[in-house]
A and B are shown apart, each in its own frame.
Chain A
Amino acid sequence: MSDRDKVWPTGLTEAESEEIHRHLIQGTQIFGMIAAFAHLLAYIYSPWLH
């Protein structure tokens, strides 16, 4: 059994852990893009930073 298939204390293998992490990073990126767009609208249409 290679180290890659080892089940860690959380019950996950390295491959499973990296898959979860990929989804988390993707969610963060989508959230960040929506937040950046919302801040752009707030900058344009509100007195913020003017």
Chain B
Amino acid sequence: MIYGKIWCVVKPSVGVPIIIGAVAVASFSVHLALTLNTTWVKRFLNGSAAQVSVAPTESIQPVAALTIPDTPRK
């Protein structure tokens, strides 16, 4: 097996946590960068909540537009 003898010179209690930690840090930073630099990750993780919060503001405007402005009486 290639590199199988590495644990003869590197203590497994040191080397294995370094390897697993490096993978964890790299993976976390890639996903954090995606979350911070895109809009769709937050929208996707919010699910339908993202649309619900937008809906009331849109429904108010047409109602307001339908009100009849006060016209001066003759």
Contacts and interface: CB of A to CB of B under 8 A. Distances in A.
A12 B40 contact: no
Interface of B is mostly: helix
Contact of B1 (A10, A18, A48): A18
A29 B38 CA distance: 30
Q: Sort chain B's interface into a size bin.
A: 10 to 19
Q: Sort chain A's interface into a size bin.
A: 10 to 19
Contact of B6 (A13, A16, A17): A17
Given A21-B1, A21-B3, 12 more contacts: A8-B8, A10-B9, A10-B12, A12-B8, A13-B8, A17-B7, A18-B5, A22-B4, A24-B19, A46-B40, A46-B44, A47-B40
